[in-house]
Amino acid sequence: MTKGKGKKGKGKSWAPAVERIRPIISGLRERYPDVKCALDHTSALELLVATILSAQCTDVRVNIVTRTLFQKYRSAADYAAADPTVFEQEIRSTGFFRNKTKSVLGMARAVVERGGQVPDTMEELVTLPGVGRKTANVLLGTWFRKNEGVVVDTHVTRIARRLKLTRQSDAVKIEKDLMKLVPRKDWTDFSHMVIHHGRQICDARRPKCEVCPINRLCPSSAA
């Protein structure tokens, strides 16, 4: 590789994404060896509720809210029977609390109607209110240990584009690109590592390229 004088990778010759992906994964794994889902949970239902609440909200805030929520609501039936007005106030600090209330309580009612157990397939999960591919992938990969896809949130979107692993902006299309590049056995860990990387180093406004473990592999690096 030949270094140029410009910033953000200008003047450099970059290997194709398919050649960079394995060293990218290795670099992230070395930096985040014990990576895991940042949402506190002890069951599939708790993780599902927490993931729905995490939309447009930090995991830290969600964990504060669910600390009390999970003590009160212990089954899908408990959520299904909840008073929406009360529940809205219980999750208010996570933002978009009215829509999230509809999603959580609607999801719970659907789970109760289907026997009370959270399903473990993508096909079934995405039919639940408030559950899309991203949420389903979190649940399948983290709780059920099934690599059915790659979680694509704002961090994964930003970093995948900065690394030139995709040119897409749509989450579903980005996921398809990443699934072609990342070995299936790494799909879940890759998502967690990239999300952690986005929070700690590859910030949206001021990425810390100088301390990034994969800056030599990143076409957007200013280091």
Which active-site residues does the annotation give? Answer: 134, 153
d(CA 198, CA 160): 10
d(CA 8, CA 221): 5
d(CA 199, CA 191): 13
Cα dihedral sign, 154-156-160-162: positive
* Cβ atoms of 66 and 53 closer than 8 Å: yes
Q: Is 130 helix (H, G, I), strand (E, B) or coil?
A: coil
